[in-house]
Structure formats: C-alpha cells, structure tokens
C-alpha cells in the first residue's frame, strides 16, 4: 500500500495531486491512498465540493515503515513529522530539490507550473484511464498553482495540459471558473491571525539564517490590509517564538499581479525592500509590482543575497 502525501499547510495542487496520483497507482493495479497533512483551504474545499470528491484523511504521522510517495514537496521541513521512520519510495514535485535519501528512490521533478501538471502528463503519456473526477482535480490544481497562467512559473506544458484536461472536464469558461476558485480562496472570514499567516507558510534557510514566508493569494487585498496591525504583531510573535531572522506575509493580488508585503520588524522590511526594490506603502507595508511567486521570484532572490 502506497501512501501519497502532499505538504503541510496543503494547497489545492498538493491535495489534488495526492488524490490523482493515488488513483493513478490504483489504475495500474497497486494499492494506494492519499493523505493530507492539514485541513484543505477554502479554495480546495470549493473544488472538492464542486466535483463531489471526498476529503482524504488528515494525519500528522503514519505507521512506521509505511511506503510513502511525496507529492508537491521534497523538503523534510514541509513533510510529515515522522518521515525518517517511513519507507520513502518516490517524489513527484516541481520545487527546487533539497533531498537526501538512504536508498535510491524514483524522483520525478519538472520545472512546470504545478505538480498536477506532472501527474496529468503521466496519465496521458502512459495511457492510463483518466476519469472525469480526476481530470477535474488536475485541471483545478494547475489553474490554482499557476494563478490561471498569471504566475511566471507557468509553462507551455501547463497550458497544453489544461486544454487537454478540459476536453474531459468540459468547463465552458475557464476564466470564470478560475475567478470562482480565487474568490473562494479569498473568503477568509475572521480567521485567527496566526492561522492566516500560516495558511500557505514555509520556512527557508538562507545564508545560515531561517526565514518564514507566508503567502496569501487573493482577489481581496483590502481584507489583509485592514488587518495589517494584527498581522504585523503576529509576524513579530512568530519571529520570536520560532527564532527566525525574519518573517514575511506576502499578499498577492492575483488579478493585478502585484504584492503587498508585511514584515516582522524594521530590519526584515529593509532587507525585503532592498532585495525587491519595493516601494513603501504606509506604515509597515511594502509594495512590489509584478511579484506573485514565492518559488520563482522571492526564494531565488533571497538565495542570492
């Protein structure tokens, strides 16, 4: 039995890829089950509900020796707590590689816009039966991770796969559908600030220091800006508690391809301002035009500092 798991603070790509890859393995006669390392966000909930797909079981650890495949991540820190006790068999991902294994495993990494693109490509390449219920999820995940092709992570492969998947799914207007997804993702209600910051949050090591970067992709930037003071206090708290050099909350305006950035302290803010030539936009807020991708824009810039 293969247990397919996405990363912590799961997003639509991570969850849909886990479900779709587990199904891929089952179609090829293997036993497989997807697991989540956290609750789906509002966008993923919307997608699962729209296509009547059950939410996989949420776990924080798995039985020792379980055969696991990681999707949409390959770094230990983003993975299941007891990864070291598990039997890691494979990785399917589209992030930079930071992976050390004890034995050879299968690794499939492509510099594409989503992990779902890689899984969809496997279905097509290998001629594995692709049911509508799975095509729905793969299509949605590609749209989500590429911000419907707005993100610089988007490749021609992603666009081609969306076209092919939609031949199975048959959504009339994909632009409209993508806006429904983004709207669902933007509806955060009165979510506690710590949860808000950690909704899509990753910790990275740059130049020997640890940096936390939370991203909120939204069609409603004002929601975050209205909660600015609360968020700034929350960032400061995380910085101190988790002993980080800096913590950022990047509010990505999906439709305008720009970002408002909140920083845990003045030094953190100065650093970000310099690295990204960002503009000051009121107290504690930076603004960067064209900045939408943590993976392709933010992390690589920090790595070169």
Which residues make up the interface to Mn ion (CB under 5 A)?
A: 13, 72, 115, 145
Give how far Cα 79 sits from Cα of 9, 62, 84, 86, 223, Å: 10, 12, 10, 11, 30
Nearer to Mn ion, 145 or 220 (CB): 145
Q: Which 8-state DSSP code applies to residue 278?
A: P
121 or 145, CB closer to Mn ion? 145
Q: Minimum distance from CB of 212 to Mn ion (Å)?
A: 19
Measure the CA–CA gap between 138 and 165, rounded to whole angstroms.
8
CA distances from 33 to 38, 56, 58, 226 (A): 16, 8, 12, 41
| Cα–Cα distance for residue pair 247/237, rounded to 1 Å | 9
**Cβ at position 73, least distance to Mn ion in Å:** 8
Closer residue to Mn ion in complex, CB, 78/115: 115
* CB contact at 8 A, 254 and 182: yes
Q: Least distance (Å) from Mn ion to the CB of residue 194?
A: 23
Q: Are 186 and 223 in contact (CB under 8 A)?
A: yes
CB of 145 to Mn ion, least distance (A): 5
Tokens of 216: 């909120």
The residue count of the chain comes to 305
Report the residue number, 13 or 158, with the smaller CB distance to Mn ion. 13
Any idea what DSSP says for residue 231?
A: H
Query: Quick count: other Cβ atoms within 10 Å of Cβ 55?
Result: 15
DSSP string covering 45-77:
HHHHHHTT-PPPEE-S---TT-EEEEES---GG
* 15-24 CB burial, b ≥16 within 10 A, e <16: bbbbbbbbbb
Q: Which lies closer to Mn ion via its Cβ, residue 15 or residue 130? A: 15
Cβ distance to Mn ion smaller for residue 140 or 263: 140
Position with the least CB separation from Mn ion: 13
CB of 102 to Mn ion, least distance (A): 26
- Smallest separation (angstroms) from Mn ion to the CB of 13: 4
Which is closer to Mn ion, CB of 130 or CB of 215? 215
Judged by beta carbon, residue 153 or residue 186, the one nearer Mn ion is: 153
The least CB distance from residue 52 to Mn ion, in Å, is: 23
CB of 7 to Mn ion, least distance (A): 8
| CB of 224 closer than 8 Å to CB of 186 | no
Q: Which residue, 13 or 75, is less far from Mn ion as judged by CB?
A: 13
Q: Provide the β-strand partners of residue 203.
A: 212
The minimum distance between CB 153 and Mn ion, in angstroms, equals: 9
**Rounded Cα–Cα distance for residues 304 and 292 (Å):** 18
Q: Is the dihedral of CA 101, 153, 117, 111 positive or negative?
A: negative
């Amino acid at each position: 039995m293969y247990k397919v798991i996405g990363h912590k603070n799961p997003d639509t790509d991570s969850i849909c890829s886990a479900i779709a890859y587990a199904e891929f393995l089952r179609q090829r006669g293997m036993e497989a089950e997807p697991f989540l390392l956290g609750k789906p966000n509002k966008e993923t909930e919307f997608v699962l509900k729209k296509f009547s797909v059950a939410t996989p079981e949420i776990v924080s650890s798995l039985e020792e020796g379980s055969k696991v495949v990681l999707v949409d991540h390959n770094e230990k820190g983003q993975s299941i707590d007891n990864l070291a006790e598990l039997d890691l068999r494979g990785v399917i991902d589209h992030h930079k590689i930071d992976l050390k294994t004890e034995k050879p495993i299968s690794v499939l990494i492509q510099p594409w816009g989503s992990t779902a693109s890689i899984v969809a490509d496997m279905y097509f390449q290998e001629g594995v039966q692709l049911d509508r219920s799975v095509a729905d999820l793969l299509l949605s995940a590609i749209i989500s991770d590429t911000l419907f092709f707005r993100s610089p992570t988007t490749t021609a492969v992603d666009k081609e796969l969306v076209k092919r998947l939609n031949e199975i799914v048959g959504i009339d207007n994909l632009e409209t559908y993508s806006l429904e997804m983004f709207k669902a993702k933007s509806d955060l209600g009165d979510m506690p600030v710590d949860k808000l910051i950690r909704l899509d949050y990753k910790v990275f090591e740059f130049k020997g220091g640890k940096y936390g970067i939370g991203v909120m992709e939204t069609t409603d930037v004002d929601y975050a800006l209205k909660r600015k003071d609360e968020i700034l206090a929350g960032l400061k708290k995380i910085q101190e508690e988790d002993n980080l050099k800096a913590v950022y909350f990047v509010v990505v305006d999906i439709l305008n391809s720009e970002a408002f950035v909140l920083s845990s302290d003045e030094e953190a803010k100065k650093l970000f301002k310099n690295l990204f030539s960002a503009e000051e936009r009121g107290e504690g807020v930076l603004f960067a035009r064209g900045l939408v991708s943590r993976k392709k824009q933010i992390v690589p810039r920090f790595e070169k500092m």
